[in-house]
């Protein structure tokens, strides 16, 4: 009686899914759902890498309702006429052009 020949390639090394670490039987060695997850993670990483619009600090660009005291360089509200340092804030440019 002749026993069955041992196949040259025994059970192929089962690949491990690089995502979840569990054995995968698929040809790619990765679970389809894990592959999708990985692709999703890459997309997410790409999204995170993208530069976010940063709000400009009020140090240089003043808001419309803010003005800078010429004396102490403090940011003062436009409605205020006197700065915290005591400097009297001049009227808005709109008014300085009159006769």
Give me the residues that bind Zn ion (CB under 5 A), please: 17, 19-20, 31, 34, 69, 71-72, 74, 83, 85, 87
10 vs 78, beta carbon nearer Zn ion: 78
Q: Rounded to the nearest 5 degrees, what angle is found at the Cα of 21, between the Cα atoms of 18 and 9?
A: 80
Q: Which of 94, 93, 45 is nearest to 68 (CA)?
A: 93
- Compute the distance between CA of residue 15 and CA of residue 22 in angstroms, rounded to an integer: 9
Q: How far is the CB of 67 from Zn ion (least distance, A)?
A: 10
**Of residues 53 and 86, the one with the C-beta less far from Zn ion:** 86
- In order of 30, 39, 40, the CA distances from 23 in angstroms are 8, 19, 21
Angle at 31 (CA atoms; ends 25, 36), nearest 5 degrees? 160
Q: How far is the CB of 27 from Zn ion (least distance, A)?
A: 14
Report the nearest approach of Zn ion to the CB of residue 17 (Å): 3
* Closest to Zn ion by CB, 6 or 27: 27
What minimum distance in Å lies between the beta carbon of 20 and Zn ion? 3
């Amino acid at each position: 009686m002749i026993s069955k020949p041992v196949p040259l390639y025994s059970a192929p090394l089962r690949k491990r899914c690089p995502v979840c670490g569990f054995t995968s039987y698929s040809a790619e060695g990765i679970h389809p759902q894990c592959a999708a997850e990985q692709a999703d993670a890459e997309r997410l990483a790409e999204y995170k890498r993208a530069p976010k619009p940063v709000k400009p600090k009020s140090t240089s660009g003043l808001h419309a309702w803010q003005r800078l005291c010429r004396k102490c360089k403090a940011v003062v509200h436009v409605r205020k006429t006197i700065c915290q340092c005591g400097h009297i804030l001049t009227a808005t440019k709109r008014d300085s052009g009159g006769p």
